[in-house]
Structure 1
Amino acid sequence: MADYGGQAPRTQASRARRGLVVLGALTAVLWGIQIVNVSTGRELNFLLGNIPRTLYGLDGIIFSPLLHADFSHLLSNNLPLVVLGFLVFLEGVRRFVAVLASSWLVSGVGVWLTGAGLTVGSSGLVFGFLTYLLVRGFYNRSWKQILLAVVIFMFYGSVLWGVLPTPGSGISWQAHLFGAVGGVLAAVLLRKDSRRRNRRVGS
């Protein structure tokens, strides 16, 4: 049996500090972009938003999660993005980046292929972080992660209704749905890495 003494708590505390810095920096970037966006009459949304099935809208796959319709839209996404992103970051920066990239790309490509119009916002990332946190424990066979998933579901589970079509709402359910798919995909792809790490730590 491996004995790491106080190393694990120190590592977790270090990850928590880095997570707060990274998520704080991301928040600052999002608000800075939104200030510029509003000051230019939201021109960035039309220049860099995700416009489905158009060549000039392809760059929106990369840039649209950084843009928002207005400050209330940004605010509604910001808190869950920080909270859920922080919980993912506690597993380490590489896994955080992997989940972020999977949610970002799958959501963006899904919107570009199936969306109904110009789409901006980071809600696809929120749904990706959420579904990753909800399902990872089952793939990793970790009862601690499953218990945390139950707590998270109690707070945020109701937002999963957002993956269903909502005609006339002006909300991109496609971004939600494919962001959620990206989160589950990340949990599936990262499960083997988690199991290998657990075998190395154990005896």
Structure 2
Amino acid sequence: MNTENHFYFKTGVIGYPILFVLVIWVVFWFEIRFGFDFNHFGVVPRTLKGMRGIFFSPFIHSGIEHLWHNTLPLLILSAALFFFYAKNAWKVLLWGAFLTGVFTWIIGRPSYHIGASGVIYMLFGFLFFKGVLAKHFRLIALSLVVVFVYGSMIWYTFPVDPKISWEGHSSGLLVGTVMAFLIKKGIATPERYAWEAPDYNPEEDDFLKHFDEDGNFIEHTPEMPEEEIIIVYNYKELTSDKNKDEEE
């Protein structure tokens, strides 16, 4: 396996996440600047009109605190998605956001459900479980970092605060987890050792040749080639002293 085919940095790794964050901030600025209220474009469960929130709700936030709490996780987790899962990033992001909205529409309370937190939980679920399932050391490391930094978010998938859409959070986590199990192509796989290859023959393994059938180490003394050793001596006459005597 060539990890360069899966893990490589390009402009989209940072560019797309920044674009996502910029869009939700521009939408919020537009509301404040021109006095609009887009909350009614959120998901309203089990109503025909409320289905439009499946597409619009991730871009709408109730206030600056709500927006800020979603900004960093969205930026970091989406960047991790585009770097470690570049071949599936758009599939995960678009289908994940859509299905999260659908499940929120199905199970949510009769209220406006807005914000990008459902998408964040979807990214969290996918990045964590996919890394564990892939068994690649880099993806496992990513899973550990994600659960260490954002593991506390799991509490908000339960109805602990009536102001928080725990339905959207639960929907996102469920969708991300399911996608982690379903998406298998284009995922980095752990490097296979020679003994894991299907055509591996232990009798041809240079390492195993140092052991007998009982597993005892066999010390091999390298055989030296039998060659005749010839020593050649070269003699050179010292003429300097002889010529000096003749001159005297």
Name the SS of the counterpart of 2:184 in structure 1. helix
5+ long unaligned stretches in structure 2: 198-248
Which has more helix, going by share of residues?
1
Counterpart amino acid of 1:13?
Answer: F
The 5 A counterparts of 1:9-158 are 12-14=8-10, 17-46=11-40, 48-116=41-109, 117-158=111-152
Which structure has the bigger radius of gyration? 2
Q: Which moved more, 1:187-196 or 1:71-80?
A: 187-196
The one-character-per-residue Cα deviations of 1:99-127 (angstroms, maximum 9, x if unpaired) are: 21232122211111111111100001111
Maintained 8 Å contact 1:103/1:178: no
- TM-superposed CA distance for 1:195, in Å, is 6.8
Maintained 8 Å contact 1:98/1:186: no
Structure 1 25/146 Cα, relative in aligned 2: closer, same or farther at 3 Å?
Answer: same
Measured in 2, the distance between the counterparts of 1:132 and 1:92 equals 10
Measured in 2, the distance between the counterparts of 1:155 and 1:138 equals 16
Aligned residues, how many? Answer: 192
Measured in 1, the distance between the counterparts of 2:49 and 2:105 equals 11
Structure 1 185/42 Cα, relative in aligned 2: closer, same or farther at 3 Å?
Answer: farther
- TM-superposed CA distance for 1:66, in Å, is 0.8
Counterpart amino acid of 1:12?
Answer: Y
Measured in 1, the distance between the counterparts of 2:73 and 2:188 equals 28
- Aligned counterpart, 2:215: none
Q: Which moved more, 1:62-71 or 1:147-156?
A: 147-156
The one-character-per-residue Cα deviations of 1:54-106 (angstroms, maximum 9, x if unpaired) are: 11111101110111111111110010000011001103544111221232122
Measured in 2, the distance between the counterparts of 1:141 and 1:121 equals 32
Structure 1 73/181 Cα, relative in aligned 2: closer, same or farther at 3 Å?
Answer: same
Q: Which moved more, 1:171-180 or 1:184-193?
A: 184-193
- TM-superposed CA distance for 1:167, in Å, is 4.5
Structure 1 167/148 Cα, relative in aligned 2: closer, same or farther at 3 Å?
Answer: closer
Q: What root-mean-square deviation, in Å, do the aligned CA atoms of Structure 1 and Structure 2 show?
A: 2.6
* Identical positions, percent: 28
- Aligned counterpart, 1:8: 4
Maintained 8 Å contact 2:136/2:188: no
Give the number of the structure with larger relative contact order, counting CA–CA contacts within 8 Å between residues 6 or more apart: 1
Please, what TM-score do these two structures have when normalized by structure 2?
Answer: 0.70
Measured in 2, the distance between the counterparts of 1:195 and 1:11 equals 8
- TM-superposed CA distance for 1:139, in Å, is 2.1
Maintained 8 Å contact 2:132/2:143: no
1:171 is aligned, of 141, 164, 169, to: 164
